[in-house]
Amino acid sequence: MPFFFISFTCLRYVLVFDDRWVNYVKKWTVCRGMDVINMKMFKEKLRYLKNSAESCRSIPSDFTGKSHHMYCLKGLIKSISEPVVTKVSPYGKSYISGSWGKQAQRDGVDQPDTYWVLSLLNSNIWGTPSAFTHIRGLHAVQEQRDFTLAPSQTHTNAVEGPSAVLYGDALFYHCYRSADICRYDLKTNNVKRVTLPGTGVGFNNKFPYCYYDCRANSDVDVEVDETGLWAIYATVGNHGNLVVSRLVWDDRAESLNVSQTWETRVFKKAVTSAFMVCGVMYVFYAFDTATGREDNTLALPLEKVVKGVASVSYNPVDKQIYMYNDGYLMAYQASF
């Protein structure tokens, strides 16, 4: 039975944020050769974070990750399929850095069957003005539109790094050379921003995701799950460890806000990528932290798919995991 992480990586930790603001670190190993998920918790790694003063409790041994959210009743991911989509980026294979996905808002969107691709066309680091493409109908393309997020690649609203999500009427991404998240409105073309909390938020390759080679400018990762928007990054104040902030778009005030922040003890540069599902952060390593060796079993069943994972994100509507694998666009089905 194929697991996503069997073929090319080991998923080592799941960080759980629950509604009582307690952070748990669990060890979860899904490696090749295993067809069960080892859910044994990492007792000594249980950490209480600064936000957790309100209540602390130990992890129940039967923790399932289920929450009361109506789309989160099934708990943690049990398995991930082989790729269900493999395509070459419309910009071509030479653009190895970027991200892609599908409209991530479930309700109230005009065109739910909308995919998007963001390739970083300039030195694989920055998005040039029209680097964001909006595609309706992936298999039989009905419409394709390019958007201009900023007038130049060094404009304050330009994209930095390979992470974005399309959520509702807007594309959310890390803004050029800043500690800010930008929200580009597809209807009005307006950009709103918010500065991430923390002392010394890393950007411009201070705390990128590193796999073997670090992925250029992957310091700030924007993700979305059933419960909303998230930013995953690292700060000097938290010693380069992952920090997770919840983002909220206030429609009335037309303001992008940060509502909560958690600090973890996972060093960001040791991680390949991370994504959120039902308030749980899934962190994975293409580097095997148990053996200290690169996991070189990146043999995805697609000819010449290269090793580089530029970005990974989860879509809470179709429950697929979207990966920009160098210039290839891949998607995998998660099962719960």
Ligand X SMILES: *[C@@H]1O[C@H](CO)[C@@H](O)[C@H](O)[C@H]1NC(C)=O
Residue type for 219, please? Answer: D
**Residue 253 makes contact with ligand X by CB under 6 A:** yes
Return the range that interacts with ligand X (CB under 6 A); candidates 147-155, 215-223, 245-253, 322-330.
245-253
Task: Work out how close the CB of 225 gets to ligand X at its nearest, in angstroms, rounded to a whole number.
Answer: 19
In angstroms, rounded to a whole number, what is the distance separating the alpha carbons of residues 224 and 174?
Answer: 14
Task: Work out how close the CB of 46 gets to ligand X at its nearest, in angstroms, rounded to a whole number.
Answer: 31
What is the number of alpha carbons within 13 Å of residue 114 lying toward its C-beta?
24
**Residue 248 makes contact with ligand X by CB under 6 A:** yes
Q: Which of 20, 250, 296, 302 binds ligand X (CB under 6 A)?
A: 250
Task: Work out how close the CB of 114 gets to ligand X at its nearest, in angstroms, rounded to a whole number.
Answer: 26
Pick 19 or 250: Cβ nearer ligand X = 250
Alpha-carbon dihedral angle through residues 2, 275, 94, 287, given to the nearest 10 degrees: -70
Q: Which of 130, 144, 188, 257 binds ligand X (CB under 6 A)?
A: 257
Task: Work out how close the CB of 229 gets to ligand X at its nearest, in angstroms, rounded to a whole number.
Answer: 13
In angstroms, rounded to a whole number, what is the distance separating the alpha carbons of residues 284 and 193?
Answer: 28
**Residue 188 makes contact with ligand X by CB under 6 A:** no
**Residue 109 makes contact with ligand X by CB under 6 A:** no
The tokens describing 25, both together, are: 């670190």
**Residue 195 makes contact with ligand X by CB under 6 A:** no
Q: If we measure between CA atoms, which residue out of 158, 153, 189 comes closest to residue 175?
A: 158
Asked if 96 contacts 327 with a C-beta cutoff of 8 angstroms, the reply is: yes
Asked if 271 contacts 258 with a C-beta cutoff of 8 angstroms, the reply is: no
Q: Which parts of this chain interact with ligand X (CB under 6 A)?
A: 248, 250, 253, 255, 257
